[in-house]
Amino acid sequence: MSSSTRMKTTRGLKTQARFTGDGVLVVDKPAGCTSHDVVQKVKRKLGAAKVGHSGTLDPFATGVLVLLINGATKLAPFLADHEKTYLFNVSFGVETDTQDSTGKVVARQPCEPLQEREIRAACDAFIGEIEQTVPRYSAVRVKGQRLYQLARRGVEVTPPNRKVEIKDLSFCELRWPEAIFEVTCSKGTYVRSLGVDLARQLNCNGHVSQLRRLASGEFNVSQAITLEQLEESLARGELHQLLITSVQALNCYPEVRVSHLDAKRIRQGSTLDSIQFLDPGPSPGWPAGPYKVLDPDNNLVAMVSMVAKAANDRPDEGVAFKTLRVFGTVE
């Protein structure tokens, strides 16, 4: 049995295995359940103390859901802001209150079959920074309450607007009365709203009938496993083959290294002013970060950012860092 897996005992009898290690698991979320449902299912299957995720998916959506297990839940702030890629279908002619196929029809308008060149031109209008109106059925809070809760009670509120960035929006295929698109966008983009706005740009009603997340930051659907595959791997004792380490999950961040002694001091709360970085160490020309701090054994110690030095500091005295998050325990 792995050192990260323990068996719970009740009056001398072995029961469910308890996973005590850390790691990131990329799950292919099925349609019809919430992200919270998936988190709870995986938590029960692993017997883990903590499981979180780095970005929710709508219940009707499928695809990449990045789960953070035990100590890896501390990674959430460093993974949630990354761009996402989605494949989605827009069904033309019908608009719903939820902007997807689960809602009630609120508008129906015959729409003449569109030409591919029209659709491609409409896509180009959304590239760059755009302003979206948050859907009425969303988890955003207004006056302390989530919008979907207010919508279900019939309470009329004005949803807020937010600016997002569409990095790329491509038309993939026309299957009238549906069209398939792929979008890469910033955190916080509502693809349902994008689909509705895209239909309106083409002078049609529309809603998103299918939505699949293909990638979230460094993680993509080729790495994702289904809940059934997870159960099979657990039965074979192969969970370790599925997990991504915290260091691997932070591959997109530059690194700095410290000695074992300084790693221990950081975990004990020492300020970074007293830490000696190993070669190649940071220099004043480096970007602000964040950076991951590793010990000589490649263990994650902390996430840090570079900060401006005080005006009376000498420029040749190096750079200053601020600790953002500490990982691991003091041995």
**What gap in Å lies between CA 220 and CA 107, rounded to an integer?**
35
What's the CA gap between 287 and 279, in Å, rounded?
Answer: 17
Structure tokens at 324: 């953002």
Residue 148: what residue type?
Y
Distance CA(244)–CA(266), nearest Å, equals 24
* Joined tokens for residue 330: 């003091």
- Other residues' Cβ atoms within 10 Å of the Cβ of residue 144: 5
Residue 23: strand pairing partners: 69
| 3-class state of residue 107 by DSSP | strand
Verify whether residue 58 is a known catalytic residue: yes
Q: How far, CA to CA in Å, does 64 sit from each of 31, 33, 41, 56, 172?
A: 12, 14, 16, 10, 20
In whole angstroms, what is the distance from residue 138 CA to residue 100 CA? 12
CA angle 89–94–99, rounded 5-degree value: 60
Q: Which of 58, 197, 262, 295 is catalytic?
A: 58
CB 84 within 8 A of CB 189: yes
280 preceded by cis ω (within 30°)?
yes
**Residues designated as active site:** 58
